[in-house]
């Protein structure tokens, strides 16, 4: 029983961070219907920003969030005006492959500058500490802090989108770009803002993630696919959907632990032979596929 | 017979194109007789393989407009079928290749049926997801060698072995794949003028209208997907015999899928020559960039930075590819 509870708990914790990862993707898709393959690479940029800032200045890694957010916001804006703006006029193939080119570009730029090795943070007051919550659940302090800060940041973005004037303009553009333009909302500015917010939120998630996840230049694709699965489950373009879908996908990534529990309960020999840990992320891809087939709108989606 | 004459009939192209194509085809045939480095030979074989992949992708992605980013899974199915059959039961290439095609087509029906209910972005990402699922399964499946992959040991055979396609010199491989290459061109030339080809183009233009004209849209897409799949699977089988050491990571990774789609797009999707032009530009560029910038200058990854920048540039400036530019120039000249 302990293993089940602690798997579910770990899944929910990581799910809160993953929701933050997917938030930017769903905002960008909602506003301009473009799929950003470089999303995971933005995350990688956030992870490296957090790591290098913390190592260079020696400050607490969790306090690097503003630096990472600023870097991500700038990166998003630069990508929009330097590249995406020209691609959205073209056919869909060009959009897909174009952002894929951006992904290869950023990934190998990181490889050139930082090298291929894994890097991790070994400093900070939270590293190495953990809490025993009971029922066999031991939560590392870094994960708890990252999850809590993710939820706060997610809530802040939600407030900006739903309660401020500029957020309403953003929503208006995603609902009906032409109508929004008649109301005097510049589509171009809103698109740029969506890319800025998208980049900023995902780099925040990266700076949180790097506290307990080592970073290398190739880490992006995995998180891109996870973010796609979350966005598909939550509904393309839905912000609140992304949060609950993030929790669900977080639990899906903990399927190996749940499998261990089932093996223990049913005690079939073949169940122990399945190399579940290596198949950890296959379930995420499979979940994406099944969601798209069964319910393409997602749980909270309004866009199709 | 009628199909054959249709496949051999290139008369709807301008005469200039046919002369250029003929000269280039002749150059391809005599290429091994000219002095060349081993590296150039390997690059040429890569070029021919990727043009065939691109031609396969072009049937569904170019003529049909369905952006498929999961072709690498069929490279994997073809390659692993041939390799496993050859290592375990000593089955010749010419037997294992059709078996691989069968497996690939069956798999394409299984996933194609639900996949083609999706459109646009949703379809593209779902193809990636299926490809990654299959790759993950192959990486833990002991029967096909798990993550280490499987190795065809050439010692058992007596090269040149035309049955098992085990050769010492690359020149044999070159002519085998060149044969497939010409067959592929003829097939696509027939395909684009066939009933299915016209149905597909009408689906690309407007799916609702195509449906109202009585075309079974779903079934036409699935059939074409199977055709594209068999192309890729055949070359995958060849890849296994040529490389001899295959792993899920380098036969089934997303990069391969993207490269396949990219070549067709760079050359011009939806045209007969597009994928070949794309492969002819991209493959030498990629391997020589890697050789000069990556290996010699010691800058890891710089070849791929340039490559990524090229992708971004093409998609931003001319998404219809090189063939699109040619047609634009021609249209302007005519007016």
From CA B267, how far away is CA B178, in angstroms rounded? 19
- Give the per-residue pLDDT at A219: 87
Chosen for mutation from A82, A96, A252 (greatest number of chain B CBs closer than 10 Å) is: A96
* Cα distance between residue A10 and residue A4, in whole Å: 10
Give the mutation candidate from A108, A110, A111, A222 for the B interface (greatest B CB count, under 10 A): A108
Q: How far apart are CA B297 and CA A58, in angstroms?
A: 34
Which residues on A lie below 8 Å from B305 (Cβ)?
104-105, 108-109, 112
**Which CA distances in Å does B201 have to A95, A211, B39, B61, B70?**
21, 51, 39, 11, 21
**What pLDDT is attached to residue B14?**
80
Set of chain B residues whose Cβ sits within 8 Å of the Cβ of A102 = 308, 312
- Of the pLDDT bands very low, low, confident and very high (cuts 50, 70, 90), residue B307 is confident
Put simply, the answer to whether A292 touches B308 (Cβ < 8 Å) is: no
Nearest to B118 among A97, A281, A296 (CB): A296
Closest partner residue to B301 (CB to CB) among A95, A108, A286 is A108
pLDDT in the model for residue B230 = 92
Q: Which residue has 């060849």 as its token pair?
A: B238
Closest chain A residue to B305 measured between Cα atoms? A105
Written as one string, the DSSP assignment of B126-190 is: HHHHHHHHHHHHHHH-GGGTGGG-EE--GGGS-SSBTTTTB-SSHHHHHHHHHHHHHHHHHHHHH
Q: State the DSSP H helix or E strand holding residue B267, giving kind and residue range, or none if neither.
A: helix B254-267
Which value does ipTM take for this structure?
0.82
**pTM of this structure:** 0.86
Q: Return the number of CB contacts < 8 Å for A and B.
A: 137
Query: What DSSP state is assigned to residue A302?
Result: -
Residues 6+ apart with CB under 8 A from A11: A247, A250, A251, A252, A253, A254, A257
Pick from A86, A100, A282: CB nearest B316: A86
Q: What is the pLDDT of residue A304?
A: 42
Task: Tell me the average pLDDT across A258-273.
Answer: 76
Q: Which residues of A touch B304 (CB under 8 A)?
A: 104, 107-108, 111
pLDDT band for position B11 (cuts 50, 70, 90): confident
User: Is the Cβ–Cβ distance between B131 and B257 less than 8 Å?
Assistant: yes
Do residues B317 and A91 make contact, with C-beta atoms less than 8 angstroms apart? no
Query: B133 contacts in A (CB within 8 Å)?
Result: 282, 285-286, 289
Please name the residue of chain A whose CA is at the shortest distance from the CA of residue B311.
Answer: A101
d(CA B168, CA B265): 35
pLDDT above 80 (res A50): yes
pLDDT tens digits, A126-153 = 676 777 776 667 778 788 888 888 889 8
| Helix, strand and coil in chain B, % to nearest 5 | 80, 0, 20
State which residue of chain A sits closest to B133, comparing Cα positions. Answer: A282
* C-alpha radius of gyration, chain B, whole number: 20
Nearest to B140 among A106, A112, A275 (CB): A275
Nearest CB to A91; choose among B118, B311, B319? B319
Own/partner contacts of B197-200, CB < 8 Å, gap of 24 or more, are B197/B63, B200/B59, B200/B60, B200/B63, B200/B64, B200/B224
The yes-or-no verdict on residue B102 having pLDDT over 60 is yes
Rounded CA gap, A111 and A99, in Å? 18
Residue A271 pLDDT more than 80? no
Angle between helices A220-234 and A92-114 (to 10 degrees): 140
For chain B, what is the mean pLDDT?
Answer: 85
pLDDT at A7 (0 to 100): 82
- Per residue in B241-252, pLDDT tens? 888 888 888 888
Shortest CA distance from B254: residue in chain A: A221
Q: Is the pLDDT of residue A302 over 70?
A: no
- Which range, of A47-61, A156-170, B128-142, B143-157, averages the lowest pLDDT? B143-157
Q: What is the pLDDT of residues A200-238, one digit of tens each?
A: 999 999 988 888 888 888 888 889 888 988 888 888 778
CB contact under 8 A, B125 and A228: yes
Question: Could you tell me which chain B residue has the CA closest to the CA of A289?
Answer: B126
Cα–Cα distance measured from residue A137 to residue B166, given in angstroms and rounded to the nearest whole number: 57
Q: Residue B271 carries which DSSP code?
A: S
Q: In whole angstroms, what is the distance from residue A235 CA to residue B266 CA? A: 32
Question: Which residues does chain A have within 8 Å of residue B308's beta carbon, measured at their own beta carbons?
Answer: 101-108
DSSP track, B303-329: HHHHHHHHHHHHHHH-TTHHHHHHHHH
Average pLDDT, chain A: 84
Residue of chain A with shortest Cα separation from B269:
A93
Domain residue ranges of chain B, discontinuous segments joined by +: 2-253
Residue A114 — very low, low, confident or very high, per pLDDT cuts 50/70/90?
Answer: confident
Residue A156 CB contacts under 8 Å (≥ 6 apart), including other chains: none
Say yes or no for a CB contact (<8 Å) between B312 and A92.
no
- Mutation choice for B interface testing from A93, A225, A255 by most B CBs within 10 A: A93
Q: Tell me the pLDDT tens digit for each residue of A7-22.
A: 888 888 889 999 999 9
Q: What percent of chain B has pLDDT over 70?
A: 98
Whole-number pLDDT of residue A84: 87
Q: Given an 8 Å threshold on Cβ–Cβ distance, is A102 in contact with B316? A: no
Q: How confident is the model at residue B294 (pLDDT cuts 50, 70, 90)?
A: low
Res A177: pLDDT = 81
The pLDDT value recorded for residue B327 is 83
Burial class (CB in 10 A: 0-12, 13-18, 19+), A296: middle
Cβ atoms of A38 and A108 within 8 Å: the answer is no
CB contact under 8 A, A93 and B309: no
**CB B131 within 8 Å of CB B72:** yes
Nearest CB partner across the interface for A279, out of B136, B310, B315? B136
The pLDDT value recorded for residue B228 is 92
Q: In this predicted structure, which of B89-103, B249-263, B291-305 has the lowest mean pLDDT?
A: B291-305
């Amino acid at each position: 029983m302990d293993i089940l509870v602690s798997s579910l708990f770990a899944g929910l914790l990581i799910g809160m961070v993953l929701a933050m990862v997917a938030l930017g993707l769903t905002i960008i898709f909602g506003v301009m219907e473009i799929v950003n393959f470089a999303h995971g690479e933005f995350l990688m940029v956030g992870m490296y920003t957090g790591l290098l800032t913390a190592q260079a200045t020696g400050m607490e890694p969790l306090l690097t969030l503003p630096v990472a957010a600023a870097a991500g916001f700038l990166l998003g804006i630069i990508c929009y005006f330097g590249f995406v703006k020209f691609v959205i006029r073209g056919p869909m193939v060009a959009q897909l492959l174009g952002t894929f080119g951006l992904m290869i570009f950023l990934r190998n730029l990181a490889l050139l500058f930082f090298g291929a090795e894994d890097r991790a943070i070994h400093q900070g007051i939270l590293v190495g500490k953990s809490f025993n919550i009971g029922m066999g659940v031991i939560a590392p302090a870094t994960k708890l802090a990252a999850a809590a800060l993710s939820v706060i940041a997610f809530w802040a973005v939600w407030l900006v989108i739903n309660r401020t004037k500029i957020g309403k303009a953003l929503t208006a553009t995603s609902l009906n770009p032409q109508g929004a333009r008649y109301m005097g909302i510049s589509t171009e500015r809103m698109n740029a803002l969506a890319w800025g917010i998208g980049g900023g939120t995902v780099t925040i998630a990266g700076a949180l993630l790097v506290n307990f996840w080592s970073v290398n230049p190739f880490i992006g694709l995995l998180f891109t696919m996870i973010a796609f699965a979350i966005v598909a489950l939550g509904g393309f373009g839905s912000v609140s959907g992304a949060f609950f879908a993030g929790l669900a996908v977080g639990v899906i990534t903990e399927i190996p632990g749940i499998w261990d529990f089932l093996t223990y309960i049913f005690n079939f020999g073949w169940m122990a032979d399945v190399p579940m840990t290596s198949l950890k992320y296959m379930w995420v891809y499979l979940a994406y596929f099944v969601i798209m087939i069964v319910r393409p709108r997602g749980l909270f989606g309004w866009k199709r | 017979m009628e199909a054959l004459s249709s496949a051999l009939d290139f008369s709807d192209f301008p005469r200039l194109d046919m002369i250029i194509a003929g000269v280039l085809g002749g150059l391809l045939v005599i290429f091994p007789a000219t002095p060349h480095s081993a590296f150039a030979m390997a690059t040429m074989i890569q070029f021919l393989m990727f043009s065939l992949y691109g031609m396969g992708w072009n049937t569904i992605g170019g003529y049909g407009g369905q952006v498929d980013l999961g072709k690498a899974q069929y490279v994997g199915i073809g390659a692993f079928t041939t390799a496993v059959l050859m290592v375990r039961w000593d089955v010749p290439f010419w037997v294992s290749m059709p078996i691989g095609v069968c497996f690939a087509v069956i798999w394409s029906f299984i996933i194609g049926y639900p996949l083609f209910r999706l459109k646009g972005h949703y379809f593209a990402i779902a193809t990636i997801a299926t490809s990654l699922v299959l790759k993950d399964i192959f990486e833990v499946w002991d029967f096909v060698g798990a993550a280490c992959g499987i190795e065809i040991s050439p010692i058992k055979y007596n090269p040149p072995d035309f049955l098992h396609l085990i050769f010492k010199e690359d020149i044999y491989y070159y002519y085998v794949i060149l044969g497939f290459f010409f067959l592929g061109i003829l097939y696509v030339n027939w395909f684009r003028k066939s009933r299915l080809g016209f149905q597909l183009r009408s689906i690309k233009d407007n799916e609702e209208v195509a449906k109202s004209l009585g075309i079974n849209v779903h079934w036409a897409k699935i059939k074409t997907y199977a055709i594209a799949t068999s192309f890729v699977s055949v070359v995958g089988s060849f890849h296994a015999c040529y490389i001899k050491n295959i792993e899920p990571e380098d036969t089934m990774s997303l990069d391969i899928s993207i490269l396949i789609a990219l070549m067709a797009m760079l050359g011009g999707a939806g045209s007969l020559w597009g994928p070949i032009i794309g492969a002819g530009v991209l493959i030498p560029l990629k391997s020589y960039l890697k050789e000069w910038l990556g290996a010699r200058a010691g800058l890891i990854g710089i070849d791929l930075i340039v490559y990524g920048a090229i992708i971004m540039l093409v998609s931003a400036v001319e998404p219809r590819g090189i063939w699109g530019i040619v047609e634009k120039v021609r249209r302007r000249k005519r007016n």
